[in-house]
Structure 1
């Protein structure tokens, strides 16, 4: 089931966006040891080379996601999160499709991501696999970690 979402380039200054990022970071720390949490906070999401979008359903924030440039041809997905009230309603898939389309517009040839390996991350892993992502080894400074799953997909 897909909702009519509006995607906005987001400067991360609004309270709904900040609350969703805080919820995302809290969830990451609840399901992985601190040294294995690679989620970006507000400051890292504002750094050069990272573009952040929020997804809205009416006046409610439904999700978010970011695209980080690794180099001219590769991008990394960061901070994908669906607001709790929108879980299971297709928001994650729409955000993923939006980020893939944006990466293509920027001329990227592949996307990469790191996500958790515990049971809490099974829905995310299934989403990424259904979109053509395959498991790979660590990339761009990551190291092997039993709490991380690394994935990539050609565009």
Structure 2
């Protein structure tokens, strides 16, 4: 497995993210969907990584700078055929290491409260993320769970 910074220009990642957006729309009401599309991810404050198994795209994740000390995890996803193989853990550890190396002190995220998102919430909890209040521009939402971790 190889993790690399991605410029979001290839057809593989466009299709992968479109599937991500479709899944989010299927399980989250429109007002509670916070996943970013390609254009939303192509911002200077966002670093985007992809995970590859040879020539096969198997995962992705991004970090968005909120301020000089705080980053947010965005668009973390593992391909359905690669779930439960440690890819999410590997990618999350990579992003934690990158945030710490860059000098950030906190990493936060928003994920869904529905059963579909339970594996994600469990993964984040396993890495020490704890529930927190909404951060940045998020508002309290019964369909969202907010989590944070000091680095």
State TM-score, norm by structure 2.
Answer: 0.98
Rounded Cα–Cα distance in structure 2 between residues aligned with 1:97 and 1:23: 24
Cα RMSD for the two superposed structures: 0.6
User: What residue in structure 1 maps to residue 65 of structure 2?
Assistant: 69
Rounded Cα–Cα distance in structure 2 between residues aligned with 1:125 and 1:55: 20
User: What residue in structure 2 maps to residue 17 of structure 1?
Assistant: 13
In the TM superposition, what is the alpha-carbon distance from 1:28 to its structure 2 partner? 0.8
- Spell out the pairing of 1:67-146 with structure 2 (5 A cutoff): 67-146=63-142
**Over residues 55-89 of structure 1, what are the superposed CA-to-partner deviations in whole Å (9 max), with x where a residue is unaligned?**
00111011000000010100000000001111111
- What is the DSSP-based 3-state SS (H/G/I as helix, E as strand, rest coil) of the residue aligned with 1:112? strand
User: What residue in structure 2 maps to residue 48 of structure 1?
Assistant: 44
In the TM superposition, what is the alpha-carbon distance from 1:17 to its structure 2 partner? 0.9
- What is the DSSP-based 3-state SS (H/G/I as helix, E as strand, rest coil) of the residue aligned with 1:108? coil
In the TM superposition, what is the alpha-carbon distance from 1:40 to its structure 2 partner? 0.7
User: What residue in structure 1 maps to residue 146 of structure 2?
Assistant: 150
- Gaps in structure 1 of 5+ consecutive residues: none
> What is the number of residues matched between the two proteins?
151
In the TM superposition, what is the alpha-carbon distance from 1:114 to its structure 2 partner? 0.1
In the TM superposition, what is the alpha-carbon distance from 1:130 to its structure 2 partner? 0.4
Rounded Cα–Cα distance in structure 1 between residues aligned with 2:88 and 2:20: 13
2:3 maps to 1:7:
yes
